[in-house]
Structure 1
Amino acid sequence: MVEVKPQGDVVVFNVQGMHKLWALKSQLTIPRSHIRGARQDAEAVGRCWKGWRVGTHVPGLLTAGTFYFEGRQIFWDVANIDHAVIIDLHDEDYHQLIIEVADPAAVLALLNPTPTAT
């Protein structure tokens, strides 16, 4: 699981517990301006082939680490796909973060820009 914390102009993604070992990473810091948006997509998260990996993949149990899929570098840390969010990035080494969070609705609200009234 990953804890998501806003800190000024950046968002810090803290990998929790033993997932640090499985994902081979403990923290990612991403500027807010590099986050295109966040969404939930159970079909994309649940697909069987995640790509070539540097990390851990136990089908139906855990996906954690850096994966290379269709020319994109994606960071995964998901055990429960019902709590997974996909975060689309630009101008970063990773094209996406696919992470499990405690409260997907709160993370989506935090990371998606709110529409402005015209």
Structure 2
Amino acid sequence: MNLSITGNQLSIDLEWYEQLWAFTLNETMSIPLAHIERVTAEEPQSTWAELRAPGTFLPGIIKAGTYYTRRGKEFWYVTKDKDYLTLELIDEPYNRIILTLDNNQAWIDRINQAKGMN
């Protein structure tokens, strides 16, 4: 997975195998920075009441794809790593995007800086 900021857009580029696990044909998700309401490294809430449609879930290994929760529609691509990057969004198809990245804190700082929050 590769993230990049170009102009006022955050792009999330999924590798072919990530697309496979997430059951998505979208190689790239582009999100206007103005639509990112909050970005954190906090471990996101997850419950048994989530509806996976479509996606993959192997407990303790991977959670990937589209999930419908009490919070709304969410996109998850998390592995057993605990380096979460949670994007809370407005005016987007997903209410939240939850990822695991090795350099999550660096991306939190870059996104907040690009949004002019620092």
TM-score interval w.r.t. the shorter chain? 0.7 to 0.9
Partner residue of 1:9? 8
CA distance in 1, matches of 2:116, 2:29: 23
Show CA shifts across 1:48-94 (max 9, x none): 53710111011100000000001500000010342221100000010
Higher RCO (CA < 8 A, seq sep 6+): 1
Stretches of structure 2 that go unaligned for 5 or more consecutive residues are none
Cα gap change, 1:106/1:11 in structure 2, threshold over 3 Å: closer, same or farther?
same
Partner residue of 1:29? 30
Amino acid at match of 1:10: Q
Stretches of structure 1 that go unaligned for 5 or more consecutive residues are none
* TM-score normalised to structure 2 length: 0.85
Indicate conservation of the 8 Å contact 1:55/1:64, yes or no.
Answer: yes
Partner residue of 1:93? 93
- Indicate the percent of aligned positions where both proteins have the same amino acid: 25
CA deviation after TM superposition for structure 1 residue 5, in Å: 0.4
Secondary structure, aligned partner of 2:82? helix
Larger deviation, residues 73-82 vs 90-99? 73-82
* TM-score normalised to structure 1 length: 0.85
Partner residue of 2:105? 105
Secondary structure, aligned partner of 2:91? coil
Runs (4 or more) in structure 1 with deviation over 4 Å come to 113-116
Secondary structure, aligned partner of 1:93? coil
Partner residue of 2:61? 61
Cα gap change, 1:48/1:69 in structure 2, threshold over 3 Å: closer, same or farther?
closer
Partner residue of 1:78? 78
Amino acid at match of 1:86: T
Amino acid at match of 2:61: L
Show CA shifts across 1:16-59 (max 9, x none): 341110112322100111011210122x25x4537101110111
| Count of residues in correspondence between the two structures | 113
